[in-house]
Amino acid sequence: MKRSYIFLLTACTASLMLSNCKKVLEKTDIGAFTASQVYNDSITTKLSIDYLYGQNQPGWFGNSGGSISGTLNTLADEQYGDNVYVRGTATIESVTDIGVANSTSNAYGKIRQLNMFIRDVNAGTLDPAVKRRYAAQAYFWRAYRYFELVKLYGGVPLVLTPLDEVGDDARKAALIPRSQTSKVFAQISADLDSGIKYLPTKWPNTADYGRLTSCAAAAMKSRVTLTWASPQFNPTHDNTRWQTAFDVASQAISLCNGIFSLYPKFDVTMWTTERNVESVLVTEYNTTSTDNGANNNTYPTNTIPKTVGGTGGSNQPTWDMARAFLMKDGKDTLTSKYAYSAQTFYKNRDPRFDQTIAYNGALWPVLGNSTQRLWTYYYSAKDKNNNVVQTSTEIGGAGTTGLYLRKAIDPALNSASLPTAGTDWIEIRYAEILLNQAEAAAELGRLGTTQEAYANVIAVRKRAGIEAGADNLYGLTTPLTSAQMVDVIMKERQVEFAFEGKRYWDLRRRKLLESTLNNKRRMGVVITLANNNSYTDYIANTRDASASTSLDALYASSFTVKTKSVDTYNIAVQTADYFFGIPTNALLNNSALLQNNTWGGTFDPLQ
């Protein structure tokens, strides 16, 4: 689970290199090495590719280091957050990922590093098969970087070789116009094809866990082709794109066969079990703070609320997110055989609900306490002026939504290990490939059926623990039209990948941001203890025992459940945000760039 820092200085770059390997590497002073010396040696070449992993691997919630990636959960309906995107006030200056400087911290700086590696490793004297394997990994990360850019802006300048850094001629050569969006997607697919062709299906050395595989490359290509086929880029519903998306997802499933599959159950162990079959693309983290350059995972400490021994509680699901989960028979609250009541909103839900959301009274074994419960209710008290006030039971103050995220929180963590957790981030799970294929199949209506769509959604629901039902459809109905099946799949993705950095991109590529969010306010829940005129938290000493006996009875006798708006304004996502504007500094820096036509320019991001 660890990534360790080493030092690698070459004539081309002077950078700290980040290794993706498990073994802690010693500091190595090779600052006098030339490029040929580095790329003629397998050890130093490996150090260089390790650095590129560290530069480009996404972190928790799919954070890729861009303008919006660190706030993905707050851009839709998963979590509350005040930002220009939901306010509808984004401008051409809001998304600056295209960058204007040669820095390893921005997209084109990282692409430059990747291009240099590709050039130099191919010029080296390593065995041709070894060179192809190294280059394929760099091609993957270049594809990843361009995909992050094209999702935001449409077509961007395609730079496929390192540009000179100084001189007037170099500056003129760098004035590269934007490529058509279709050409950028084609280049991304071509780069990923290199990974599919030359990367192993599985690395033989266990220390190489986390390195790219042919399955990972095909899975990423599946994500890319699905996006290219989706309404954001394909408003005319060109079925050839959907056919490509289906074929690529099918190829990914075939390449993964026997190596990757659905993890047996949907629970925390999917995240805490290293090298598990679900983990197609993984970013590894350390488990100790003593390593030189330790790369610890701060997700748990930022997520576990103080009430149950954590320090954060910053990731809080909305009531909207809680309501998105179906009942445990796979039906919605109107058609389920299980009666739904807001008073016992947690009861008889899709099992993924309890694995994702912590609520008032929920059993949440964490930090060594197997019987610990979360309490978030308010109770009546009196202030110093004898006025009745509502007081939160939460240490440090009440949360925003009344709910907390518990997904992937390792129960084995203790207070000492919490700040240095090593839980890996799974960027692509096998379930995503299945749902990618399902969506493409549903769009195609393959020969009047949606066979693959049904089979894949059922597989994901079965793994989740949803009841099969007498018809073995796990809550699905038949027949469903293509449009109805797409709607089912989008809702399935919402709960399966909750807080995994997918929701905003899904709504964006399907052009559902406005219809899903606009003119609405995200909601939270407020749970209040009945006032018995004692003006104290009179159940504090008995609530755990009562909840263990019957949480339903405790809710019925002691709590009221009401919802509240956590937004202070109606969400107003702009239509223009489906392709963000090119910032002024980028336009000034490169006179060949054209602004998007959705922001007053002439560049058509749909071409």
Query: pLDDT for 243-275, tens place per residue?
Result: 999 999 999 999 999 999 999 999 999 999 989
Where does the pLDDT of residue 165 fall: very low under 50, low under 70, confident under 90, or very high at 90 and above?
low
What average pLDDT does this structure show over 478-490?
94
pLDDT in tens, 144-155: 999 999 999 999
Cα–Cα nearest to 154, from 146, 144, 166:
146
What is the pLDDT, as a whole number, of residue 8? 43
Check pLDDT > 80 for residue 348: yes
Q: What is the dihedral of CA 389, 394, 399, 405, to 10 degrees?
A: -150
Strands 357-358 and 404-405: antiparallel
Percent of the chain with pLDDT over 90: 82
CB 458 within 8 A of CB 93: no
What is the pLDDT, as a whole number, of residue 253? 98
pLDDT in tens, 524-556: 999 999 999 999 999 999 999 999 999 999 999
What are the backbone angles phi and psi of residue 509, rounded to the nearest 5°? -70, -30
What average pLDDT does this structure show over 188-214?
95
What is the pLDDT, as a whole number, of residue 82? 96
Check pLDDT > 50 for residue 83: yes
Residues 447 and 239: their CA atoms lie apart, in Å, by: 13
Check pLDDT > 80 for residue 586: yes
Q: Is the model more confident about 44 or about 418? A: 44
What is the pLDDT, as a whole number, of residue 339? 96
What is the pLDDT, as a whole number, of residue 293? 53
What are the backbone angles phi and psi of residue 357, rounded to the nearest 5°? -120, 130
pTM above 0.75, yes or no: yes
Check pLDDT > 80 for residue 17: no
